[in-house]
Chain A
Amino acid sequence: MSQKTIGRWTQLIILLVLQVLFLGGIAGSYYAVGWFGQEIRIKTAPVDPRDLLYGDYVTLSYEISQLRPELWKDQAPVPARGSKVYVLLKQGSGNPAVYEAAGLYGSKPSAQPGEVILQGRVDSSWDQAIRVTYGIEKYYVPEGTGKELEKEAGNMIAKVKIASWGQKKLEGLENF
């Protein structure tokens, strides 16, 4: 075989390794979140009136998704749609002990014991509320099983793992 063909095998192998590393890297990092992350429980909330079930996933909303403007602790005005924000969560006293929002910051605050910080993005903000999305608003389900979950989804407990490096992962849903 000519030199060129051998060269292309090498190229292909490099490209293949990169693609496998890409898939494996993402999967591995989320497995690591599952192993090393701190587990918290947060309460879901009913979603805006729209179709919750979207093909093979259920759209979720949380109590910490809609925040009162008083929680905004920075001097600057409330950030615009799409900007990064940090939400400080404190463990509540109820049973089960879910985490509740205690503050909203533009830069990462430090957390005391019993507190965790979730990074999110401002989805919209108006006088009464600031809506934040965290990237854990989709729950994929096997096809055809979403209808039952859809009825419950507004009143459940979500198990979320947060890694020390900020990555987070929705582990599962439990009945309230």
Chain B
Amino acid sequence: MSRKWVEKEGLGWVEKNIISREQYDQIVHLYAEQKHAIGMLPLLGSVLLGLGILSFIAANWQEIPQLLRLLMIVVVMVGFYAGGEQFLRKGHGKLGIALTALGLVSFGAGIILVGQMFHLVAYDLTSFTVWGLAGIVLTYMYRSRFLYLISLLIFTGAQWYSTLELHQFSYAALVIMAVGLGYFTWQRQSTLLTWCYSLSFVLQCLMLVFVKDWPLLWLFIPVMALYAAGDWIRDRSSGYAVQTVPLIAAYVFAVSMVLLWDVRSSSDLDEILAQPAYYLIALVVLFAISVLGKLRQARGSSAFEWILLAPFVYLPGGIEVLYLLALFFFSFYVLWRGYMEQWRFKINFGTVLFLCSTMVAYGKLTWDFMDKSLFFIIGGLLLLALSWVLNRRKKQVLEDTKGGKTS
């Protein structure tokens, strides 16, 4: 809380006779500003000093012997870590964590520098995995969300590099990240962390499928395994945070099926279709695990979300219509649950999904059986009417809950 805020609000409390004028002065005095200002001086000083040293080193970097460069990076790394710990002990939480994060970044810089010193060619992600592992250990030591996100970024970036440059996928890195950071996510039950974790996991699975040239459908086995895991989390909002990204992936797949089904060729099919027997068995097993979890947490009705995963793609015909219906039913379901649970995030999410589904339908179905201009007019009116109704309902619900649960 800032002094300004206390000064302003406090006057209101005095007027309403909650506190006396003397108490008001005493409270405001607690938020004395000069203490803060003096604390900032050494900090600003050290930042300036650090910047000066940094620019000096950067300007002369090429002339410094390599071994000395490595020693300097090690010294900087130790300095950042030790400084971070010192500031944390003195209660400067944010600054301490920021310095520790810089220490972790210096470790990565050290790894890259060693690679350059000896002209090394990276064959795999071992050194990056060690880097990320250091990040995970720090995350647990300081129980810090910031360090968590940096570690997640290191693992995701490393896998991306491996996919693009080395054309291979590191299972070890994925497992270490999934277990190491997954357990932390589980403990913390933080929506933000869960979202980012889930996003990174799905992206990495996508990279895996691309690197290995597997049929695209295989993506949904690990992704829906993550979804099913979300059903076993008791806390509703972190459970849903885990599941949103897998659902978005399934939604995007269904949309692409609707839009691109016409232009497919048989070789495209090979790229999409997994071996039906294995794929369907795996999907059914995951479905069972997921539904079991849902029933235990008393949210059985959300099993309807699996409609996006229905393997229409194996059917001989009518695929785009079925996927389109699945998109609509799913969007309706999310919207409906949003209103039932009075959950702002779901209402917004459902609205966006519903508008997207309408657009997809609008761009797709018409050409065969309706005059284009008529379709545009009807489609436009439909969208307008729909968004008006949805917005009205949304406002009502949000007013009723007054903020309610946020995402």
Say yes or no: A9-B141 contact (C-beta < 8 A), given A138-B119, A138-B121. Answer: no
In the complex, whether B77 has a CB less than 8 A from a CB of chain A is yes
B102-125 residues at the A interface, CB under 8 angstroms: 107, 110-111, 114, 116-121, 123
Q: Do B119 and A22 have beta carbons less than 8 Å apart?
A: no
Closest chain-B Cβ to A33's Cβ sits at a distance in Å of 8
Question: If A11-B141, A27-B114, A135-B121 touch, does A20 touch B74 (CB 8 Å cutoff)?
Answer: yes
Least CB distance, A96 to chain B, in whole angstroms? 21
For the complex formed, measure the closest distance between the CB of A146 and the CB atoms of chain B, giving whole angstroms. 13
Kindly state whether residue B70 has any CB partner on chain A within 8 Å: yes
Interface centre among A57, A135, A140 (most CB of B within 10 A): A140
Given contacts A1-B89, A121-B123, contact A82 B168 (CB under 8 A): yes
A22 in complex: contacting residue of B82, B89, B120, B130, CB < 8 Å:
B130
Contact A169 B118 (CB under 8 A): yes
Interface status of A111 (Cβ within 8 A of chain B): no
Contact of A15 among B117, B138, B168 (CB under 8 A): B138
**In this assembly, does B267 line the interface, its C-beta being within 8 Å of a C-beta of chain A?**
no
Given A22-B130, A23-B111, A140-B123 contact (CB < 8 Å) = no
Which residues of B sit under 8 angstroms from A143, Cβ to Cβ? 62
How far apart are B118's CB and chain A's nearest CB, in angstroms?
A: 4
In the complex, A8→B81 CA distance in Å? Answer: 12
The answer to whether the Cβ of A113 comes within 8 Å of any Cβ in the partner chain is no
Contact with B along A22-41 (1 / 0, CB 8 A): 11101100100000000000
**A162 to B: closest C-beta gap in Å:** 14
Instruction: List B63-118 residues whose CB lies under 8 Å from chain A.
Output: 67, 70, 73-74, 77-78, 81-82, 85, 89, 107, 110-111, 114, 116-118
Q: Is B229 an interface residue (CB 8 A)?
A: no
Complex contact A136–B119 (CB within 8 A): yes
A12 in contact with B85 given A23-B70, A121-B123, A142-B62 (CB within 8 Å)? yes
User: Taking chain B's interface residues, is the majority helix, strand, or loop, or is none over half, making it mixed?
Assistant: helix
B216 within 8 A of A: no
Give every chain B residue within 8 A of A15 (Cβ-Cβ).
81, 134, 137-138, 141
Given contacts A12-B85, A140-B116, whether A19 and B107 have CB atoms under 8 Å apart is: yes
What number of A residues sit within 8 Å (CB to CB) of B? 32
Quote the shortest CB–CB distance from A170 to chain B (angstroms).
4
List of B residues within 8 angstroms of A133 by Cβ: 121
Expressed in whole angstroms, the minimum distance between the Cβ of A80 and any Cβ of chain B is 13
Chain A residue, CB-CB nearest to B140: A11
Interface contact A140-B134, CB-CB below 8 Å: no
Q: Across the interface, which residues of B come within 8 angstroms of A140, CB to CB?
A: 116-117, 119
How distant is the Cα of A20 from the Cα of B116 in the complex, in angstroms? 17
Q: How many residues of B contact A (CB 8 A)?
A: 29
Contacts of B67 in A (CB 8 A): 27
Q: Smallest CB-CB separation from B116: which chain A residue? A: A140
- In Å, the complex CA distance between A15 and B168 comes to 29
Closest to A19 in B: B107
Contact B121 A137 (CB under 8 A): yes
A30 near B118 (CB under 8 angstroms)? yes
Closest to A145 in B: B62
The smallest beta-carbon distance between A160 and chain B, in angstroms, is 10
- With A15-B137, A19-B107, A140-B116 known as contacts, the answer to whether A8 contacts B85 (CB < 8 A) is yes
A5 an interface residue at 8 Å Cβ cutoff?
yes
* Cβ-closest chain B residue relative to A172: B119
What CA separation (Å) do A18 and B81 show in the bound complex?
A: 13
Q: What residues of chain A lie closer than 8 Å to B120, measured between beta carbons?
A: 30, 135, 138
Q: How far is the CB of A57 from chain B (nearest CB, A)?
A: 8
Q: Are A8 and B123 in contact (CB under 8 A)?
A: no
Chain A residues within 8 Å of B137, by CB: 15
A82–B74 alpha-carbon span in the complex (Å): 34
Of all chain B residues, which has the CB nearest A33?
B118
Does A47 count as interface, using CB distance less than 8 angstroms? Answer: no
Chain A residues with CB under 8 Å of B121's CB are: 133, 135-138
Q: What 3 pairs between A and B have smallest CB-CB spacing?
A: A30-B118, A170-B119, A140-B116
Kindly list 17 other residue pairs between chains A and B, CB separation below 8 angstroms, not including A23-B110, A135-B121.
Answer: A9-B85, A11-B141, A15-B81, A15-B137, A15-B141, A16-B77, A20-B78, A23-B70, A23-B73, A27-B67, A30-B117, A30-B120, A133-B121, A139-B119, A142-B62, A169-B118, A170-B119
A-B contact pairs, 25 of them (CB 8 A): A1-B89, A5-B89, A8-B85, A8-B141, A12-B82, A12-B141, A15-B134, A15-B137, A16-B81, A18-B134, A19-B110, A23-B111, A24-B74, A27-B67, A27-B117, A27-B118, A82-B168, A135-B121, A136-B119, A137-B121, A138-B119, A140-B117, A140-B119, A143-B62, A170-B118
